């Protein structure tokens, strides 16, 4: 697991993301942000890879009304040229 922290004014943290790995690739990320006095779990993301380790699906789920984003699913296709 890797924790990525974002800092704002006066070097105070305002959000962090926990990245979970399998086989050296990020498979899940959980985003937490400051909401008043608490850290709120705002978003979870899941990544799926093909047999060549290419990202093929990124699913992002918004978990908090505090977030201004929407849930979505991105699908990737790879072409040889």
- The structural domain count of the chain equals 1
DSSP E strand boundaries for 1-81? 2-7, 13-22, 25-35, 38-49, 55-62, 72-75
What is the rounded CA–CA span in Å between residue 77 and residue 61?
21
What are residue 70's phi and psi, to 5 degrees?
Answer: -115, 155
Give residues with Cβ within 8 angstroms of 69, minimum separation 6.
43, 60, 62
Q: Does 7 map to a domain? A: yes
Q: pTM value?
A: 0.84
Tens of each residue's pLDDT in the chain, 81 residues: 999 999 998 998 989 999 999 999 999 999 999 888 888 999 999 999 999 999 999 999 999 876 667 899 999 999 888
Residue 67: which domain range?
2-75
What is the rounded CA–CA span in Å between residue 72 and residue 29?
14
Q: Does 80 map to a domain? A: no
């Amino acid at each position: 697991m890797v924790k990525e922290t974002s800092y704002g004014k006066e070097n105070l943290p305002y959000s962090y993301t926990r990245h979970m790995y399998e086989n050296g690739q990020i498979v899940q990320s959980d985003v937490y942000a400051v909401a008043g006095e608490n850290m709120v779990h705002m978003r979870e993301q899941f990544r799926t890879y093909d047999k060549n380790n290419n990202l093929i699906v990124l699913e992002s789920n918004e978990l908090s009304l505090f977030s201004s984003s929407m849930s979505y699913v991105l699908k990737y296709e790879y072409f040889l040229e």
